[in-house]
Structure 1
Amino acid sequence: MSALIGPVPDTWHRLLLGDACQVQAGPSGATFRPADRASHGVRMVTPKSIQDDRIVADGCVTIRPEAADRMKRYALREGDIVCTRVGNGRRHALAGPEHTGWLLGGACLFLRPHAAVLPRYLNHYLRQPMVQDWLAQRVTGAVVPTVTAGTLGDLPLALPPWETQHAIADLLDALDEKISAHHAIIRSTEELGRVLAPALLTGAVLPPDSL
């Protein structure tokens, strides 16, 4: 049986993303006003908050608790997948327990998987090049590229049985951890090179075997 990502087993379900999860766009300008911002309060996720497949506090907007109460429908839960919907490139990240209660920003949307869909599996599915290409071909807006909630809801999804979703997600999560570890080693090595190079090239520090 063929799917967007290629042939899949007959035991897998083919459905639209909108039938597998709630697709919720962020608040409009009429709902979230500049006066709602505050130096302390509830974090609101923006596209800048999605970095390296993670949701980080850096880039978040902070809003008043009273304003957050007014926008409870946009509050995140563990297992939600937050996606950028405005700008070039489609980034997304999985919300963890630490993000519970954070709010969805207007330039983002979240996917809240139904009970039969493992969030970690869906998160990996959305990364696939064929999926990203499908979304890129359906952006609207010449000046500011945008993906609507309706478009995302029409994304074809290949969904294996629950146990298979877990097995796939576990393996890909393990590979992600190894990739992150290697990237950390590369960054540390590059930093060491930047620090040592000036000292070595000016003779301030010499390699041990040259003394």
Structure 2
Amino acid sequence: MPGKYQAYPEYNHSGVEWLGKIPRDWKVLRGKFVFSEYGERSEFGDEILLSVSEYYGVKPRGDVIDEGDFLSRAESLVGYKKCKKNDLVMNIMLAWKCGLGVTKYDGIVSPAYSVFRFNEKASPDYMHYLLRTDIYTGHFKTRSTGVIDSRLRLYPDSFADVSLLLPPVTEQNSIANFLDHETAKIDTLIEKQQQLIKLLKEKRQAVISHAVTKGLNPNVSMRDSGVEWLGEVPEHWVVAQLKFNTVEMQTGPFGSQLHAEDYIDDGIPLVNPAHMADGKIVPDSKVSVDEETWHRLKRHQLFEGDLIFARRGELGRCAIVTKDQEGWLCGTGSLKAKLNDRLVPEYSYLLITSDGVVSELSLESKGSTMDNLNTETLGRVRLPVPPIDEQRKVLDYVNDVSGKFRNLIDKASAAIELMKERRTALISAAVTGKIDVRHHASHPAGSANTMMEHNNDF
């Protein structure tokens, strides 16, 4: 096929089962002949602090510890390991999850990391691509010690025994240059799709917010609502505080009423803020209680149609209780509200998660370090209350519009996943010698388009 990547003219077996055949002029050497470990420590801890991530490799992180990083914030960085540009930095606990990469910065990393420096046999840029491929990270897992994934460690001695694919150094540089060029193009395409998704979500939210606060009839008479964020509303709508449209509002049990030792696996679920996503409750089987504890806390049980709110952190986060979730418990970090018959739960959810209500909640909320919601604050929030039949018509409209936006967002998300898969496949094929990119490396223009046009090149 014209433009399709070609294989190398000749292959030999690598002598390593998991590597298979490789181009004739390539070599396989164990890591200890290609790099050495360095353990120089920082004397003052004033160098740039670097982070290793499975997503981006090595980048500066300042004094902020990434969420999910096993390190905690350190008071002093004295004694951290020093690294230089083109060194390989590896988180030994996450090497099998792509937790390694070649740094483009001088800096320091956690003492728990390992730092390696390449000799003249290896191009650092090529090694960065090679060691982050699925074939290598999968091999790292087999060489790691530990019983469960969260405790696996790839120790330096074992890493130094890994077989490395080594084309001639000039060819390593050609492959790396080619991949830099091609992945940059793909990343640009991915970024455009991500921006499209962001715009679609913003547009969807704007359409929904307009529908639930202004109605569907553009010709209806309007009046001032008296609420700054709400502006004008249809003349026949009521504007009222939420507390006048609820039967009951109640916070979850205090911490003294529920302790960590009360939790069991696969019991009756408690619903905390972490268990609310996109208006739905997603329980955690480990955050649940037995029947005895349930009876003690049954005044906090949930019923179909209740709204449950996050009391701390992300204000406006809430979910609607379904029939299947009746009897579950409102958690300590949550607050529940039972609506009267003037508000449809789904309509209330759309209002409460709108930007205007979230902003008002934030202004009204109590707490010096983070927003904190209580029944009084929530009850004071003023909402537009159309007649029930209009609420249902708005919900039908919103469901239709949301479906159309969801289809567009799903298509963009699928395009991103496809591009990521092709990016991964291109890198793997190039660094393992499945395709010969030497000619493309010297004439890179247009080759990304070729890659995107042919699904089965790799």
Q: TM-score, normalised by structure 2?
A: 0.43
- Report the equivalent of 1:17: 242
Query: Of residues 271, 274, 297 in structure 2, which corresponds to 1:45?
Result: 271
2:326 and 2:373 map into 1 onto residues whose CA distance is 25
Change (3 A) 1:31 1:160: same
- Which of the residues 224, 233, 243 maps onto 1:2? 224
Q: 1:34 is matched with which residue: 260, 279, 302? A: 260
- Runs (4+) of structure 1 exceeding 4 A deviation are 203-207
Please give the per-residue CA displacement for 1:119-167, whole angstroms capped at 9, x wherever unaligned. Answer: 1111111122111111111121112320111110011121111111111
Shift of 1:33: 2.6
What is the RMSD computed on CA atoms of the aligned residues?
2.4
Q: Which amino acid aligns with 2:376?
A: G
- Bigger relative CO (Cα 8 Å, ≥ 6 apart): 1
Report matched runs for 1:121-132 at 5 Å: 121-132=347-358
Over 3 Å counting, the alpha-carbon distance change for 1:42 and 1:59 in structure 2 is closer
Alignment of 1:115-194 (within 5 A): 115-194=341-420
2:369 is paired with a residue whose SS is coil
Aligned mates of 1:104, 1:60 — CA distance in 2: 15
| Matched position secondary structure for 1:40 | coil
Deviation at 1:89, TM superposition (A): 3.8
Q: CA deviation at 1:49?
A: 0.6
| CA deviation map 1:17-73 (0-9, x unaligned) | 011012221111132232321112100011111123321124871111211122222
Distance 1:86 1:174 in 2: 32
Long gaps (5+) in structure 1: none
Q: Within 2, Cα distance between the matches of 1:93 and 1:24? A: 15
Distance 1:8 1:59, change over 3 A: farther
1:189-204 → structure 2 map (5 Å cutoff): 189-201=415-427, 202-203=429-430, 204=434
- What letter is aligned with 1:10? E
CA distance in 1, matches of 2:316, 2:305: 19
Q: 1:59 to 1:70 in 2, by over 3 A?
A: same
Identity across aligned pairs (percent)? 25
SS in structure 1 at match of 2:383 = strand
Amino acid at match of 1:2: D
How far off its partner does 1:209 sit?
9.3
Q: 2:296 aligns with which of 70, 93, 99?
A: 70
* CA shift for structure 1 position 90: 2.9
Q: Distance in 1 between matches of 2:244 and 2:413?
A: 41
Query: Which consecutive unaligned segments of at least 5 residues does structure 2 have?
Result: 1-222, 436-450
Q: Taking structure 1 as the reference length, what is the TM-score of the superposition?
A: 0.88
Would the aligned equivalents of 2:240 and 2:382 in 1 still touch at CA under 8 Å?
Answer: yes
Q: For residues 11 and 183 of structure 1, what CA distance do their matches in structure 2 show?
A: 36
How far is the alpha carbon of 1:187 from its aligned partner? 3.1
CA contact (8 A) 1:23 1:112 kept: yes
Query: May I ask how many residue pairs the two structures share in their alignment?
Result: 211
Q: Aligned partners of 1:209 and 1:44: how far apart in 2?
A: 46
What code does the residue aligned with 2:313 have? Answer: G
Q: In the aligned structure 2, how far is the partner of 1:81 from the partner of 1:136?
A: 19
SS in 2 for 1:77: coil
Shift of 1:97: 2.1
- Contact residue 16 and residue 157 of structure 1 kept, 8 A: yes
Pairwise CA distance, 1:190: 2.1
Task: Give the number of the structure whose alpha-carbon radius of gyration is greater.
Answer: 2
Quote the Cα distance in structure 2 between the aligned partners of 1:209 and 1:85.
Answer: 48
Return closer, same or farther for 1:42/1:131 CA change in 2, 3 Å cut-off: same
1:44 and 1:63 in contact (8 A); partners too? yes
**How many angstroms apart in 1 are the aligned matches of 2:353 and 2:378?**
14
1:80 aligned onto 2:310: no
